[in-house]
Every structure is written in structure tokens, then in C-alpha cells.
Chains A and B, each alone.
Chain A
């Protein structure tokens, strides 16, 4: 028999099956679906919706459906022989078993290939699905698609096929292939999750079986032109990935080829297995006793008996499951994975620093593993439900007097126990990991809530099991049940993940806090916060739906021989007429009623009370606001110069009320008679009146929360008036995708939006061009106005309502909480079971402060005459000593650089991780709980992170009190870049240059990574427009590089003088003011260098290809390219204008500069005098350039 016959048979067999075409259709759909999802993640409207780079990513990641399809087809090719029993007839007739195997393998591969073609077809057809405007699509990137298909998808498919076939050969069961592919999926997901944060990036890129991480790494750094047009460059990492996994595929094929023997293959599953030695005891010819002699057992059939039976059967099922080596293997693997996750991965995967093994970190393991656990439960549930039918036991049991519900219930219970075991594995892994890592603050309650509750805990698992049962019963087929239950779950999960389904009430069985709002949603300070408020309703709805699934399973379950759909419908109708059918009907109605009630509850709380909007609705609303009110964009408003506030916070109720008296001053040269008021959703103004002026409401727009008042008499230029406000703040209902951290149970960070905004609120404008295009708004070329815009230039950056204000605030909060607010804390007292504090401004400040209320403990210490207060969650005492040291050293060093600390008290306060990670205002620095408070600082870099961030935050306080930046492009160069520069300098002083280099590298990497996500266009540093990756990462680097060139001391002196000089001035500053002074200060020979950093977007691609030393001459072979970004036009190569430093690092890491060379483009050799013979050559040791990969710039001699 020739293999071609087998191949032909395999192809024809699959060609005749309907599921082959269904799979093909599903993959076409997946191609479309993933393209749409991937595009939702790209913010920049200039990136085409069918950009080749997106296609490359999709082709590499394969998609879960493709995994499943491959496993099913491959497993079917060989396991079909065994399951159908055909092996016993077929194999004896075939002479060449190896040829047979090859035929089967190639047949499966070809069938897979044909089906998988649907995937690129779906990607190719994406522009024709009606998603996006025609001009958002480029020409079909056929070349790139073919390139990607053969570079990524085909090798990946070969690997999947080889692996599936290998497993079927080894275990002789189709289920082995399913579970094996599931395992690969787990590895893939782990690789994808750790990709961004892991320090072993290369290892991750190599170990990812599909090359997705390597591809993503390449595309992440592409500019828009490359994203839209380029073929994927095959980097070394990608090439090695392909080679390694190509070899793995060949190895798996080789082993399968070698192991596949008919005799071996049919041995275990044969109907006639190893002969059991039959008992040959003496025949017992005694008459047959109708009972055992102990009295006739009397059968019992009541409901109670049935329930007991269900429990007993469940136990039997469990025993049976645990005896399965595959099941034990899966549980063992899961346990090891959870352990590995806890020890190796968790600490770094979502937080900036390594993290202590907190309980929330341990329980989080279930979230990234969610898909895998769910798929496992779905598959096992389907298998267990159909266990009797697959094994043929139904022919016995269905003729017995036990109702079907007993079996179904027993299997559900058994699966419940399985799910419980899986949850307990996470529990056990956590309990092993925490003490092993020296951590004993175990939160038992959190373990139980997370692992056994409704937030993808055990209760969710029970709901998922019911979905599997329902699908199985509905289709009366194990395979169809698997396909539909897995399909439904994956469809929902992918849709939620890609925000194609936004409202979780439509996404069984998801609840708030699983997928989003953030990757990690548990706050150590605030728990799940408002996400917990709606949990009951969501969990209730899904439980009711799951119960409905269960009832439907009971109703639809087919007892006896397989029936046609029509026959089954007849049975259902008949069953509904029976007494038990009436019970089922009642139960269904009850479930539906409860489901409806819970859904109504969600709608009422979420949509009606909390005003939830989907992204599209929000986008449309913001666009409508802009369209309606943008004409008032440059209508001036009076500026707040003083605030007298009496605020009462009720965090437990997420409410507050206040009375405020604002002093408003007309700083324009025209009288103001129109006052625009814009207010936040949580704000309800009860009273609003002016002393000496009347306010007449001309227009009130509740939809857009905007009102226009007529001020009589008009406020004259230069004059001030007092505005009194009495208002309440409240978050109503609950939310699913917003932490509402401004008023929450513990750790409220209330911004100044508790006051109405005067004028048109630009922060409500759509900031991404993709959205603006969609809404028919003009595209932005910047998120901020240009410097010549006089209106914006007259406003203070991040403080549009006030140029400078003083305040006096009395704030109260719940008895167990403490308030932190800007300024001097004058006094505190308790009244009526509430804590009160009065705060007063020490200096006039900007109006971007926060009021924080939380359960806090405070550590007090002094530093250079400044009182320092570290307010933290009472449990988070792990790193207080480091914080104290960091604050002391930072204040001490910054005082030397910038003069005495501008406030009498410096406060550092811990806040929940919501919104910004670091907030500096007046004398307060709020630091997210995820950034140091619970960090594991055993590694130097983790401790240094605390020092760096503290120095940056404190430096900002010095800078903000001195510099008033205009609300125009470049403002963040003043407010962020300089602070970051001081942070680098501080690190340098405290830890040395070598340690600082790591942070410079990190800053560069972050800059590159975030630059690729730029929603509009990267600006030169001088014109930075609310882009932290520019202002902080590139800006800090630029100033640091400059200071290294000029000499740190000289530069620091100039900078501190400049800041001190700025403090003397009342006017607002722009980056141009700073830059002009900088240019004047910098020697002429450095002007090109400065211009490259600040005015242009230059990057260097350097690699030190060879370095040799001979007779005191160091010969270097360097590849060099200098690229200037021209926005949409891509990059242009430029000639080098400044020399490049060359250094030699000795074994202890000390770097000695040995000279400078004038670099030429392309690969060239250069010679330098050098006396050392063994060292490491380093290009640009002083970090003067934005070099793409510093790893390529060093070589050991």
C-alpha cells in the first residue's frame, strides 16, 4: 500500500465531513475576529486596519480555535482507527506500518493545512466585512500574508500536528492530543503574559512555540510606515525560534514514526486486551439464589434515596477520574505550574518591581490560567456527561430504574469536586509558596473568596460545567457538545478581552474584576472596591442562567438509543406533560424569572444609576459634547485665587458633601458676563450663588452636564468675586469597568473635579485620532495647543481653573480613616465619631491637588529640618525603612541642588493602584500601592526603584513650586523631564553610574515600547504633548546625556540657577523658554547634539561587530545608522554630526573613556590607541545617544 492511498483516503474522508467545512468557516471567522480585536488595541489612526504587522502577529498567535481544530483533526486521523474498531480489521491487512503512519501524518497535515487556509482568508477578507471606512484599509498585503503564513503559521501548524500525532501514538487516545494541545496553549499564554515584563526576554522569545513573542517584539518597535508596509524582518531571535521549534517538530515526528507499531498501537485499547487469568474455581452448581442468602435486598427509589445515590455516584466518578493517569498528570502539571507561577513569574508580571508573595498575588494565578482551566472543565464535563454513552454502559444503566437526573447530578457534583480540587491546588500552591518565600501574612479569607467564589473561582467553575452539560444535552453529541461549549466560552472570553462585548451582563460567566478594568484588579488597600458592589447581581444572574442550563439538560437529556431531533422534540413535549415535566417547567420559569430580576438589577444599578456607557457610547457622547460646545473652547473664565472648603467624606457610602467659597478673579482685559459651568457626573450642586452678583441660568444641559449662566453685573477686568457652592458627591449604583477611586471604600483620591469646571472642559475631548475620525471630528496633530496659542499659553498646565491659589480646607472622614490633603495640617479633631482635619496652603499652588482618605498608619521622622510623614496601609510595613531612607537621602541631596525643601512637612502617602501611579502636588506625594510598598526588595534594582521614584516625586515638588508651566506643548519637559533627570542624577550619586545605567536602559526601552503605541504622532521633545514616554523617559535621558557631556556639576549648577530664577517670575513658562536658555548655556559645539535630542526625533542603530587589539591599536568594526523620524513619512537616514565615545570596562565594571570616533554610516572599521589588552569595549559609555540596542554595543576583547 502506498502512502498516497492513505493520504487520499484521509483527505476524502475529511472532505466528506460537514465539520471540516464548519472548521474552515470558523477559522475564516477567527481571522476576521482577531483582526478586529487586534485593531482595537492600536490607538493610532494612521495604522491601517489591515496593516501587515497586525497580520503577522495574528498569523503567529494562531488563535485558540485553530488549536482546537488541529487537535481534533490530528487526533481523529489515528485514534479513529481505534475508537471505531477498524484497527483490528485494517492493520492486519497492511504490510508497511511505517508507510501507513506516514500516510496518516501527511494526510492529517494536508487536511489541517487546507482547513487552516481559512484563517489567512479571514484576515484577507477583513476589509470586506464592513468594519471601518475604506480609507482605513490599505491594499491587500498579499505578499506579507503569504510570507507570514509560511514563516509562522505553517511551521506552527507542523509543530501542532507533530505534537498531536505524537501524543496519540504515545497514549493511544484522542483525548491525549486534546489535553496536550491545551498544555501547549498554557505554555503559549504564559510566554505571552511574561513577554513584556520578563528579564529573560530572549529565553521567552525562544521558548514560545509559535514565535509570537519574537514577532510582537519586532512589531512593537516598528514605526507607522513599517507597520503599514514592511515585511517582517527575521531577527536572530525569530530565526532561532523557528529553527528550534522546527527541530522539535522533526523530533516529535521521528519519535512517533519510530514508536508507531500496529501491535503496540492496538494493544491497550483492544477489545481483547492482555488476557486476564480467568478464575478456574470449582463450578458451583448450587441452585441459584434469588437473593444472597442474607434476606432479599429491597430496592428503594424515593427522591431522598436518589439524592444519596447521586452523591455516591459522584464519589465513584471521582475515584474513577483520579485513577486515570492522564487526569493525575494534568493535576500534577497544574500544581507545578501554579508553583512555578508563584515562584518565578507572578512577582514581576504585572508590577514594576518584584513583589512580595501577597495572598492576592497567589490567588491571581487563576486569572491568566482562566481560559485553560475553563477549557479543561468544559472538556472533562463533556466527557463525563457522555461517559456512559462513550463506554456503552448506557445500554445497561438506561434500562434501570434510576432517573436520568441522578446521573446528571452525580456528574455535575463530580465535576464540582474536580473544580474544587483545581481551586484547592492554587490554594495549596500559595500556601507552599508564601512560607517558602519567607512571607507569613496569609489572608485566609481572600484565598477563600477568590478561589471558591464567583470571581472566576469555584462557583464560576460550577457555572461553566453547566454550560458544558447543556451543550452536550442539546446536541446529544459529545463532540458537538465540546465544540459548541468551547466555542461559546472562547467567543465570549475573546469578545470580552477584545472589548467586543463590553457589558459583562451579556458575557456569561464573567463578573467585574476578572477581565478588566485592568489586568490586575485587586487593591491591597481597597479590595475589589466598587467591583465587589455588583458581584452579587452578576453572580446571581449567572447562577440563575446556569441553573436554567441544568434544568434544560435534564429535560433534553437523551435516554436510551440515539434519537433524531424530531424524536427528541417529541420526547421533550411528552416529558413536559408529565408530573416531573411540570416541575421542570416551573423550575425553568423560576430560573428565567430570577435571571431577569438580576439582569434588571444590573441594568438599574449600572446603566441607570451609575450612568455606564460603552466605549462607543462614551466616544459618541464626548464627540457630541465637543461638537456642541467646542465653540466655547477659548471663552475665558475667571480664575480661582482662593478656596475655602468644608468637605465631609463618607467613604463607606461612596458619598461626600461640601460647602465651598471660591474667590474668582477676572484676569482678562474684558468684563465677564457669561459663566460656563461643566460638572462631573458624581456632582450634584444644591446651591450656587455669588456674593454681589446674580447668576441667571441661561441654559442647562443635563445630558452633557453643562450650564451657562449670566452674571450680573459682569465681572470687571482684574476684579474678584466670591462664588458659594453647596453640593453633594455620590457614586450611585455600581460599576463594572471603572474603579471610581475618587470616592471609594478605602483609599479615595478625590481630585478637584468635585468643584464645577468653569468653561469648556477640554479633557472631555476625544484624544485619539482614530476615535475622532470615527466621530467625524477634525484630526488632532497634537494633544496640546502649540506655543503660539495665546489662550492656552495664558492657562497653567494641569491647573486651567487657577493660575495660583491659596486654600483653607476642613475635611472630615469616617472614624477609621485619615485625611491627607495639600498644605499645612493646622489641626485635627474628632467630632460625632468622625475625624476632622484643617489644611492650609503654605504657598500659593496649582489646582491639581488631591484629597486622600484611607485607613492609614503614619511614620514620622525629620530630615534637614523638614518633618516627613510616611502614611501607609497599616499592614504594609515591609519597606518603610527603605522609604524613609529614600526620602531622607532624596531631600538631603535635592536640598543641596535646589535649596531648602519648600514646605514644612513632606508627606508620602500610599494609595490604591487606580489611575496614576505617582501623584505629586504641593507637599504631598501619593504613591500607588503597587510601586514599592509591598515590593520584594531583595534585588538591588527593586530597592533602587523606590529611591528613584521618591527622588523624582520630591524633585517635582521643588519644580512645581518654582515653575508655572503654560498649558501648551512642551509643558511636561518642564514638569516631568527635569524631575526625571534629577532622579537619574540622584541614582548616580547614591548608587553610582553602573547602577544608573540599568535605569537608563530601562527608560530607553520604555520609550521605545510606548512610542510604538503613540496614538497621534511622536513629537520632538521640545513639543511633548502629554506623552510620558517622551517627557519622562526620553526627556530624562536627554538631560542626563547632556549633563554627562557638559559635566554633571556644571549642568546641575546651571539648572538649579535656572529653576531658582524661574521662581522669581510670576509668568508662565514654556519649554521654549527653557530651551532657549539651555542653548545659550551649552557650548556651540554641542548645539547639534542638543538639537538632535530636543528638536528632532533621532535614533541610532549601532552594533559593534568586531573588536580586536593588536600592538596597542584597538580596531573596531562598527555598523552604524542614524535615523530621523519624519512622522508618517517614516524614517530618513542622516549623516553623523557628533563623535561617538568609546570606553573600556574592566572586570569590576569601571569604565574608562579611551577616545571618540567620528562615525560613518554602514559598516566601517576604526582604529584607536589602547594600552589595555583585556577588557570590554563599550560604545557610547556615557549614554549620549538614543541607541536602539545597547547589548549590541559592547564586545569583550
Chain B
């Protein structure tokens, strides 16, 4: 199973171009999608989830044209959007059962078992009879995770899934995703750079609707290795530094400000070589200081 996105573009009626010629080929495993707010991640997610039309481009899942036949992807999709609602007056168990039916699970006993299992996995089993309007934000998010996994999805799209989860629940969810990633395509859209580094075998950084880089996380980190320089500065000097130097990030450590600069050589002797990590690489890419497009695979022709 492979998901191929080819020349995907989308412009909203207000003129905002959300996706510009996006090309991605995603194989089984965890795929991380990083990008700023408004970069186009959610637009891409919604498009993949068949909630939104595209102006041009194609999407293939396992060779099937998703745009022409959205039903194909819907049958194999587990989707957890950034924001979603629930019916306030029904219980988690009823709602999940309802969603299971929508997903096509007809057999009642099988469905019941599946619902119970998933509620157990997301730690909601004890409160399964409670109406969803009484759920906290974290509980609702866990419910969202359960619904995404209800029908044995082959493609899982999760958009900012850990928002509202405490660290323990977050870990538990990522463990589940990792396990699922062995047999399915899991697209994880997030702001949390570390999560992508630790979980994903493949990733892309997206900015202003374009794919800025698409490769393995390690390759991205390697690409910026030796090009990150850091220096402690006074806060008042920050603007001046930004004017003169390619500052990609600033960090506060014990009240002191440290800037990270991208370059082949140290700007001056006061800079120390920094340890390259994904965060620096991400900032370098989205700030436009690092052009890593050559790391991206060539888009297959002929589809």
C-alpha cells in the first residue's frame, strides 16, 4: 500500500492558496508532517480525508484514484481531525457504536467487542456510559483516537492528535500509532518536532502550501549538521543580530538568550558550533535558510 500525492493544488475562494503543487509518496509506516500554522497541513489532511475538493492534482491509494473514487479511501481511512465534535446527549459507547456502523461494521456482537476493546485501549471503558457532554477535552480527544481506529484502517491520518492529552496519555497514543504503523500508513501532522523525530520513519516539512522537504528525519538532521552555530546574547541585541545574521531560532536558558544561526561557517569567533537536531533543521528549512529540496525523492511519472 502506497499513498501518492501528485501536483496537488488548492486555492480557497478568498484567494488563499493553501496547497501549491504538492507531491508526496508515502509508504507504510509513520509519516510526520511538520509545518507552521497556516502552512497547509490541515488542508492537505482534509483533502486526503475527502472532506475537501482540489483544484488540480491527483491522489492515489494503492493505485486507486481517490479523487475520482473517494469511497475507496474512506473505507480504509482512520481520521482524527484537529477539531471535531460529538453528540452531546449520547454516551461514548453509543457514539462509537454509531461510528462503527458508519464505518460498515454490521455485525452487532463484533462491533460491540471492538467498541469495548478500543474504549479500553484509550482508557475510557469505565466512563463509556457517560454522556459525551460530560467529557473533558482530554477524554474527548481519546474518544477521537478510538473512533479513528475502529475499522482497522490502512491509512491513518491524525492532525494534532495529542493536543489536550497529558504526557502519559500522549505516550500511550504514540505507542498505539507506532504499532499501527507496522501495517498501515500513518500520517501524523504536528507542531511537536520531537514527536516526528522519535516516531516517524519518513517526514515532510510543509510551508506556504509547498513541500519544502520530504525525506527521513535523520537525513534532514544530517543535512544541517555542522551548519548550526549558537551564541548567548543580550536580549536587546536580538533585533540587530537578526538583521545581520541568518538567525533560525532563539532559546532562553536560565534567563539568558541564546541564538541559533545557520551557516557553513561561524559568523564570528563568539559563536560555538551547535549540536544539530530536528528542531534546528525545521527552523532552518521553514525560515528559508536551508534548501533541502534535493533530499526529496523524485516524483514518479506516469500516474
Contacts and interface: CB of A to CB of B under 8 A. Distances in A.
Interface stretch (A52-60, A267-275, A492-500): A267-275
A289 B124 contact: no
B13 A276 contact: no
A275 B152 contact: no
Interface string A386-404: 0110111111111111100
A279 interface: yes
A285 interface: yes
12 contacts: A275-B136, A278-B123, A281-B125, A283-B123, A316-B94, A316-B98, A387-B87, A396-B81, A396-B144, A399-B51, A399-B74, A400-B99
A312 B107 CA distance: 13
Interface string A267-309: 0000111111111010111011111111111111100010011
B106 A305 contact: yes
B179 A563 contact: no
Interface in A549-600: 559-561, 563-564, 566-567, 570-571
Interface string B114-139: 10111011011111001001111111
A276 B143 CA distance: 14
Given A297-B107, A305-B106, A401-B103, A393 B52 contact: no
Contacts of A297: 100, 105, 107, 110-111, 114, 151-152
B293 to A, nearest CB: 30
A401 B130 contact: no
Interface stretch (A318-326, A431-439, A801-809, A951-959): A318-326
A164 B7 CA distance: 53
B88 interface: yes
Contacts of A559: 51
A279 B126 contact: yes
Contacts of A309: 101-102
Interface residues of B, number: 67
Interface in B63-93: 71, 74-75, 77, 79, 81, 83-90
A313 interface: yes
B102 A567 contact: no
B104 A402 contact: yes
Given A284-B120, A288-B180, A395-B81, A320 B102 contact: no
B46 interface: yes
Interface stretch (B30-38, B168-176, B259-267): B168-176
Interface in B138-166: 138-139, 144, 147, 149, 151-152
B139 A294 contact: no
B7 to A, nearest CB: 19
Nearest to B114: A292
Interface string A368-410: 0000000000000000000110111111111111100000000
A567 B110 CA distance: 40
Nearest to B107: A297
A392 B136 contact: no
A395 B104 contact: no
Contacts of B151: 297, 299
B30 to A, nearest CB: 13
Nearest to A316: B98
A296 B152 contact: yes
B76 to A, nearest CB: 8
A271 B111 contact: no
A308 B107 CA distance: 12
Nearest to B51: A560
B51 to A, nearest CB: 4
Contacts of A401: 71, 74-75, 77, 102-104
Contact of B105 (A275, A299, A395): A299
Contacts, number: 171
A296 B98 CA distance: 18
Contact of A287 (B75, B87, B127, B179): B179
Given A301-B104, A312-B101, A398-B51, 13 more contacts: A272-B137, A273-B134, A283-B172, A284-B123, A288-B179, A294-B109, A299-B103, A301-B75, A395-B81, A396-B79, A396-B147, A560-B51, A560-B52
A394 B125 CA distance: 24
Contact of B106 (A277, A300, A388): A300
Given A279-B123, A393-B87, A300 B104 contact: yes
B53 interface: yes
B183 A290 contact: yes
Contact of B117 (A271, A293, A299, A323): A293
A791 B147 CA distance: 92
A399 B49 contact: yes
B218 interface: no
A485 B12 CA distance: 30
Interface of B: 13, 46, 49-53, 71, 74-75, 77, 79, 81, 83-90, 94, 98-107, 109-111, 113-114, 116-118, 120-121, 123-127, 130, 133-139, 144, 147, 149, 151-152, 168, 172, 175-176, 179-180, 183
A565 to B, nearest CB: 9
A284 B127 CA distance: 16
Nearest to A574: B53
B85 A393 contact: yes
A320 B77 CA distance: 27
Contacts of B179: 287-288
Contacts of A563: 53
B183 A284 contact: no
A754 to B, nearest CB: 65
A398 B149 CA distance: 16
A560 B49 CA distance: 9
B87 A391 contact: yes
Contacts of A287: 179
Contacts of B89: 320, 323-324
A284 B71 CA distance: 34
Contacts of B183: 290
A135 to B, nearest CB: 54
A290 B176 contact: no
A914 B118 CA distance: 68
B132 to A, nearest CB: 10
A401 B118 CA distance: 20
Closest 6 CB pairs of A and B: A392-B85, A299-B104, A560-B51, A279-B126, A401-B74, A391-B85
A283 B117 CA distance: 13
Contacts of B86: 391-393
Contacts of A274: 134
B125 A567 contact: no
Most chain-A CB neighbours within 10 Å: which of B106, B137, B168? B106
B117 A571 contact: no
B10 to A, nearest CB: 11
A396 B143 CA distance: 12
A288 B146 CA distance: 12
Contacts of B94: 316, 319
B98 A399 contact: no
A571 B53 contact: yes
Contacts of A400: 74, 77, 99, 102-103
B50 A560 contact: yes
B103 to A, nearest CB: 6
Contacts of B88: 391
Contacts of A390: 85
Nearest to B45: A399
A584 B98 CA distance: 27
A292 B83 CA distance: 27
Contacts of A291: 114, 152
Contacts of A567: 13, 53
Contact of A279 (B84, B127, B133): B127
Given A387-B87, A399-B79, A271 B74 contact: no
A639 to B, nearest CB: 79
Nearest to B110: A297
Nearest to B159: A395
Nearest to B50: A399
B199 to A, nearest CB: 14
A301 B144 CA distance: 23
A300 B116 CA distance: 20
B137 A279 contact: no
